Amino acid sequence: MIRFEPRGPVAVSRTIGVSVTAAVAALVLAAIPMLFAGLSVLDAYVLMIKGAWGSMFAFTEMLTRASPLILTGLAAAVAFRAKLWNIGAEGQLYAGALAAVAVGTGLISGPSFVLVPAVIVAGALAGGLVMLVPTLLKTRLGVDEVVTTLLLNFVILLFVQMMLEGPMQDPMGMGWPQSEPILDEAALPKLMDRMRIHWGLVIALAASLGVYFLLKRTVWGFEIRAVGENAAAARHAGIPVTATFIRVGLLSGALAGLAGVGEVAGLKGYLTADLSPGFGYSGIVVAMLAGLSPIGVVFAALFIASIFVGADSMSRATGVSNYLADLIVAISLLSVLVSGLFLRFRIRLAGTRPARESAK
Amino acid sequence: MSDILEIFMSASFWAAAIRIATPLIFGVVGALICERSGVLNLGIEGIFTAGAMAGWMAVWLGAGLWGGVLVAALAGGFFGLIHAVLTVPLGLSQHVSGIGVTLFATSLSYFIYRTALPDVSSPPRIEAFQPLDIPVLSDLPFLGPALFQQTPLTFLALFLVAATAYVLYRTPLGLAIQAVGDNPAAVESQGLSVYGLRMGTVVAGSAIMALGGAFLTMSAFDAFFFGMVNGRGWICIALTVFASWRPGKALLGALLFGAFDAFQVRLQTEVGSFIPGQVFLMMPYLLSIAALIVVARRADYPRALLVPYFRGQR
Amino acid sequence: MALPAKDAPVLLRLDGITKRFGALTANDAVCLDLKQGEILALLGENGAGKTTLMNILFGHYVADEGSVLVSRGDGDLSPLEPGSPHAALEAGVGMVHQHFTLAENLSVLDNILLGTEKLSTLKSRRAPARRKLEDLMTRSGLAVSLDMRVSQLSVGEKQRVEILKALYRNAKVLVLDEPTAVLTPQESDTLFAILKKLADAGLGIIFISHKLAEVMAASHRIAVLRGGAKVADLPTSECDQRQLAELMVGHEVSETVRGTGAPGDTLFILTGVSAGESRESIRDVNLDLRSGEILGIAGVSGNGQTMLARVISGLETPFAGSMRLGERTLTQANARTMIDAGLARIPEDRHRDGIVGAMTVSENLAIEAIRKPDCQRFGLLRFAAMREKARAMIDAYDIRCQGEDSPARLLSGGNIQKIVLARTLETEPKVVLAAQPSRGLDVGATSEVYRRLLAARARGAGVLLISEDLDELMRLSDRIAVIHRGHLSDAEPTETLDRGTLGLRMAGHTMEAAE
């Protein structure tokens, strides 16, 4: 029989320790499928590290991959803080991308300093509005948001496909289901010559600082934390719980929408229905790995991005499927859940002074 | 208008409705068994994928169709066990653990499939289940082709609905499952194990979910494709709420859903020329959301759903 | 009261039970015997270790030292496997918990059957069970409809189901944890009559209580626990209430003295308020609260108190009637408007509604005022000001914690209640709603709560005290009204009331006769 004893205040160092432990555990556990696939584990990891950190090109590719992950990670982190289970970042990302393309391909014209902000705002707004639907269904009608956000992912992706085969299809695209290219004035500028890395990273880093500030220093952040930790007590204490959920929903959706903006306006330049390789779902892993800390999200996103970019490169070299990356990411989520227990509890075996029980 | 009537009059329509409903029946029954004991299992989407891949691969490797079904159920039980350990004795978030199991089961299935079959251009096929030829019933006019020309897995699904209803309402085990989903302390104070019951239902429920996946690769199709589950698991979670956690209603809900889906596919051939196909493809998901909205106000959730139980605590 | 025979066999023996929770010793080498046909009262304050002891007996907890011995029929005592409710049930120990352990979605019959049949059995055998239970009910006088869903039962009926559960399993020892906490005095009398009948039929019974009068009236023997240790074990005939009170508390007991109040103008009025559906609802409630008085609301648990408190707290909007606080009419109220109108609310479930456990003491002290200029400027939190204020409140209310930045979940129940008292009373509210304010608190914390409520009354606030503890109500209230099935009686001065009258009204008797 296992017993959990609650711990006192949690030191930041312990929080970081939990995340690092989980990441290492995931890498160790992933060795099992790697062995089955006939890989030399050590060689594979060396290849992955080289693929993600080994050259300037690799490093910027990794950062480029991390940008949307930071944003979807923040989307999950801020929502989960309020116990609003937004599992729909994938759909919100596409909504943001679609809006960015709608605005950025000639709907309005103007110089960069008008178009770029317009594209960003449109994407954020679209993502936020998409998340507003399940949020309102939750607060008004009591519909569980987990399932609605999950189902909306499919609806939105189909809607995007419909637009890409219909009104928004590129007439010069030779029949491919893709949008017209974003105007140069509407594109997010590159950060470095001859590299794909773009201003989406700066937006993501700024968003992480912004969310940190919001949660830590503001009344709204206080209310989000209170609602997430104990909604009943928050309501009793006069905190506007419904309004808080709506704010969180809008913010979370907007962050995911921004991820979509970065991918179309910063990286690809046009929209296709395979824009995201599951950034929305990986964002959940990023958020959990970061212990829902907005600053931690940046580091967790770098880790996950390294796995993806590294595994792609390793896969090219060895021929082993790059689904290995998804596998490591999934194991990370499960292992961070378990290692999180060590953060909140001292774990003891039966008979050795359990204290989770209250002495009455 | 007469075209629409014609759709309902055709035996193939009803046969299709039942065929579409079958994986959902497995999924909803599995989900409701888990939830009745107080554990939400969002691993369902991944468990479908794992069941589809594992069952198919077992047959492809020569295990035989029923061997494949067994392997699928074992795979489902394995991922169910992971979810059960994380959420029951460890008491971790059922939401996050479920999503984690879905990601894990999906990526592991894809990885194994890709590792076993590195460079195939078109997915290899197996000899899938064929419709059963039931004496007399299958030969009835209209009713025969409409209802009784299904594969054995469909009949297995129907049997599981009846068995689940019987166990839940008529046996001591079922009473205990209902009680542990309402008030675990009631179960423990009567000398039963809360953890044992919950872990048991999650493993069993997950094994049944996996059969829904197996139906896809071994009955509906004869090969495994990436993304073939396509949200069916999430639809089952919605249908479980819609069915008020009752096996009979779950069957009804899944059949209604299958009928609607079959109907819109046929409608699509009628009006598809001026409505984009995606609108029809969205329907199952929108319908699931609509079902949730309809029952939201009076949904009678098991009281202990999502609430972890720690002994000696209240 | 007829004593059990001197040579009656011992059914149960607790031998040197010690249980520690961290630094706290909940049970300190407790020894206890229970004979056949005996009713033993286990007396002690909240926190004295009574419930812990019984939870060890029943296998919910494992003792650090000592053992539980049970008679196996032939008179020999053999040790009970620790940590196994199943083993306790097999050995004939039945327990009625304070919080009922019933599955609300099942029928009474199914609740009783639960766990009595092998899980691998293919069919629940309800018919023979029904026959046995009907026989048990006639013999014991415990009547309840077997086919009702438990969710439809009253509190008293649920308790009967709990006792039947034990009897159905042929219990030889029956343990009841605070069985009268949720009953009217009359219902308690009935319960004790049934217990006596069961004891005469050969059952050994332990009931846990902190109420002196009922312990004196209904037991053969009394064991007193204090600070986890047994400090007395006497035949009831050799005890008197005063001596027991001192044994229980450890020093001479000073009663909280209410003194005479000086009620002023009417402050807070409810007119025809109706809210909620089904069991937990209120209908056409009228109430007026004056400044400088404590108005008590008595009632059996589950008669609408929770809904009344929720409405007044602004958590539930009534569908009829109106509320007035001073000059303000409060319709479509929410918690915020209630707080702003000058209404302090002490919730009945302080862990659920009172604090956010993961946030700090300082944040919990500020939570109701978080949008006030004290705590924020331009939407930005003023941490220094919040901390400073928290430190002052921690001092003033003697909140025992590891500083204002420690998480509130680490505090004891009494200190959590002090956080709630501090942040709500700090603003000198006009009206104080105190719902079950002393529930589960020890003597010290309880008297602190009483002192604060009386102080609020003394400075002119009106206090609405909702409680299930008649002694507490009679001690603190200037007037008392009774709530029954969602209807509230007119309030009458406490001096004109006694426990008997209140008990009858709590059961709905007098009111129905008067109508």
Structural domain spans, chain A? 66-292
User: Is B121 contained in some domain?
Assistant: no
Contact C119 B179 (CB under 8 A): no
CATH class for domain C254-342+428-515?
alpha beta
B104, B285, B293 member nearest A155 (Cβ): B285
pLDDT in tens, B179-198: 999 999 999 989 999 999 99
Q: Mapping DSSP to helix (H, G, I), strand (E, B) and coil, where does residue C168 land?
A: helix
The pLDDT mean for chain B works out to 91
With cut-offs at 50, 70 and 90, classify the pLDDT of residue B272. Answer: low
Query: What is the model's pTM?
Result: 0.92
Cβ–Cβ < 8 Å for C323, C314: no
Q: What pLDDT score was predicted for residue C330?
A: 85
Q: What pLDDT score was predicted for residue B2?
A: 61
Contact A219 C381 (CB under 8 A): yes
Cα–chain-centroid distance for residue A259? 8
Q: For residue A355, which residues of chain C lie inside 8 Å, CB to CB?
A: 21-22
Q: Mapping DSSP to helix (H, G, I), strand (E, B) and coil, where does residue B129 land?
A: coil
B176, B191, B302 member nearest C86 (Cβ): B191
Chain A residue closest to C47 (CA)? A360
Q: Is C440 on the interface with B (CB under 8 A)?
A: no
At residue C33, φ and ψ (nearest 5 deg) are -115, 145
Q: For residue B107, which residues of chain A lie inside 8 Å, CB to CB?
A: 323, 326-327, 329-330
Q: Please, which residues 25-64 of chain C have a Cβ atom closer than 8 Å to chain B?
A: 55, 58, 60-61
CA B198, CA B144: separation in Å to the nearest integer? Answer: 41
Cβ–Cβ < 8 Å for C95, C58: yes
pLDDT in tens, B303-312: 999 999 987 5
Q: For residue B171, which residues of chain C lie inside 8 Å, CB to CB?
A: 121-124
Q: What angle do CA C3, C4, C7 make, to 5 degrees?
A: 130
Q: Is A8 on the interface with C (CB under 8 A)?
A: yes
Q: For residue A238, which residues of chain C lie inside 8 Å, CB to CB?
A: 314, 334-336, 338-339, 368
User: Is B284 contained in some domain?
Assistant: yes
Q: Is C174 on the interface with B (CB under 8 A)?
A: no
Chain C residue closest to A7 (CA)? C410
Contact C123 B187 (CB under 8 A): no
Q: What angle do CA C279, C285, C291 make, to 5 degrees?
A: 130
B82, B92, B115, best to mutate vs chain A, most A CBs in 10 Å = B115
Q: Which chains have 3 or more CB–CB distances shorter than 8 Å to chain A?
A: B, C
User: Is B158 contained in some domain?
Assistant: no
Q: What pLDDT score was predicted for residue C60?
A: 85
Contact A159 B282 (CB under 8 A): yes
**Looking at the predicted structure, is the pLDDT value of residue B114 above 50?**
yes
Residues B220-244: what's their mean pLDDT?
94
User: Is B54 contained in some domain?
Assistant: yes
Write down the domain spans for chain C.
Answer: 9-92+172-253, 102-171, 254-342+428-515, 357-426
Q: What pLDDT score was predicted for residue A288?
A: 96
Q: Which segments of chain B does DSSP mark as H helices, in order?
A: 2-9, 11-36, 44-60, 65-87, 94-116, 143-147, 152-170, 172-182, 184-189, 194-215, 232-242, 247-271, 277-296
Convert C230-262 into a string of H (helix), E (strand) and C (coil): EEEEEEHHHCCHHHHHHHHHCCCCCCCCCCCCC
Residues B85-90: what's their mean pLDDT?
95
- Nearest alpha-carbon partner for A330 in B148, C155, C175, B109: B109
User: Is B256 contained in some domain?
Assistant: yes
pLDDT in tens, C8-40: 889 999 999 999 887 788 899 999 999 999 999
Q: What pLDDT score was predicted for residue C512?
A: 47
Rounded to whole angstroms, what are the CA distances from C275 to A241, A329, C197, C280, C312?
21, 50, 42, 9, 11
Identify which has the larger pLDDT, B97 or B8.
B97
Element (H, E) at A44: helix A41-53
B97, B276, B279 member nearest A337 (Cβ): B97
Identify which has the larger pLDDT, B297 or B108.
B108
Q: For residue B91, which residues of chain A lie inside 8 Å, CB to CB?
A: 4
Q: For residue B118, which residues of chain A lie inside 8 Å, CB to CB?
A: 319, 321
Contact C103 B173 (CB under 8 A): no
CA A321, CA C126: separation in Å to the nearest integer? Answer: 58
Between β-strands C431-435 and C343-346, what pairing exists: parallel, antiparallel or unpaired?
Answer: parallel
Contact A233 C313 (CB under 8 A): no
The pLDDT mean for chain C works out to 89
User: Is B225 contained in some domain?
Assistant: yes
Contact C47 A9 (CB under 8 A): no
Chain C residue closest to A213 (CA)? C380
CA B2, CA B229: separation in Å to the nearest integer? Answer: 34
Q: What pLDDT score was predicted for residue C417?
A: 95
A222, A241, A292, A356, best to mutate vs chain C, most C CBs in 10 Å = A222
Contact B99 A281 (CB under 8 A): yes
Q: For residue C18, which residues of chain A lie inside 8 Å, CB to CB?
A: none
Per-residue tokens: B240: 């479980």
Classify domain C9-92+172-253 by CATH number: 3.40.50.300
Contact A235 C345 (CB under 8 A): no
A2, A166, A323 member nearest B276 (Cβ): A166
What is the interface pTM, i.e. ipTM, of the complex?
0.92
User: Is B164 contained in some domain?
Assistant: no
Contact A359 C370 (CB under 8 A): no
Q: What pLDDT score was predicted for residue A10?
A: 67
Q: Count structural domains, chain B.
A: 1
Show pLDDT as tens, one digit a residue, over chain C (515 residues): 566 666 788 999 999 999 988 778 889 999 999 999 999 999 988 778 888 898 899 988 889 999 999 988 666 888 988 888 899 999 999 999 888 999 999 999 999 999 999 898 888 889 999 999 999 999 888 989 999 999 988 888 999 999 999 999 999 999 999 898 888 888 889 999 999 999 999 999 999 988 888 899 899 999 999 988 999 999 999 988 888 888 888 776 666 677 777 788 999 999 999 998 876 899 999 999 999 999 999 998 889 999 999 999 999 999 999 999 988 888 777 899 999 999 999 999 999 999 999 999 999 999 999 999 989 999 999 999 999 999 999 999 999 988 899 999 888 888 999 999 999 999 899 999 999 999 888 778 888 999 999 999 999 999 999 998 888 999 999 999 999 999 999 999 999 998 888 988 988 876 444 44
With cut-offs at 50, 70 and 90, classify the pLDDT of residue B293. Answer: very high
Give me the sign of the Cα torsion angle C148, C151, C155, C160: positive
Q: What pLDDT score was predicted for residue B275?
A: 82
A164, A321, A341, A356, best to mutate vs chain B, most B CBs in 10 Å = A321
Show pLDDT as tens, one digit a residue, over chain A (360 residues): 456 666 666 677 888 888 999 999 999 999 999 998 888 999 999 999 999 999 999 999 999 999 999 999 999 999 999 999 999 999 999 999 999 999 999 888 889 999 999 999 999 999 999 999 999 999 999 999 999 999 999 999 999 999 999 888 988 888 889 999 999 999 999 998 888 999 999 999 999 999 999 999 999 999 999 999 999 999 999 999 999 999 999 999 999 999 999 999 999 999 999 999 999 999 999 999 999 999 999 999 999 999 999 999 999 999 888 899 999 999 999 999 998 887 767 666 554 443 333 333
Contact B111 A151 (CB under 8 A): no
User: Is B11 contained in some domain?
Assistant: no
Q: For residue A353, which residues of chain C lie inside 8 Å, CB to CB?
A: 20-22, 64
Q: Please, which residues 184-213 of chain B have a Cβ atom closer than 8 Å to chain C?
A: 185-192
Domain C9-92+172-253 shares a fold with domain C254-342+428-515: yes
A218, A223, A229 member nearest C380 (Cβ): A218
Q: What pLDDT score was predicted for residue C124?
A: 86
Cβ neighbours of residue B11 closer than 8 Å, sequence gap 6 or more: B142, B143, B144, B145, B146
Cβ–Cβ < 8 Å for B49, B215: no
Q: Please, which residues 143-172 of chain C have a Cβ atom closer than 8 Å to chain B?
A: 165
CA B58, CA C27: separation in Å to the nearest integer? Answer: 58
Chain C residue closest to B313 (CA)? C60
Q: Which domain holds residue B191?
A: 23-112+171-314
Contact C352 A233 (CB under 8 A): yes
C346, C367, C401, C417, best to mutate vs chain A, most A CBs in 10 Å = C367
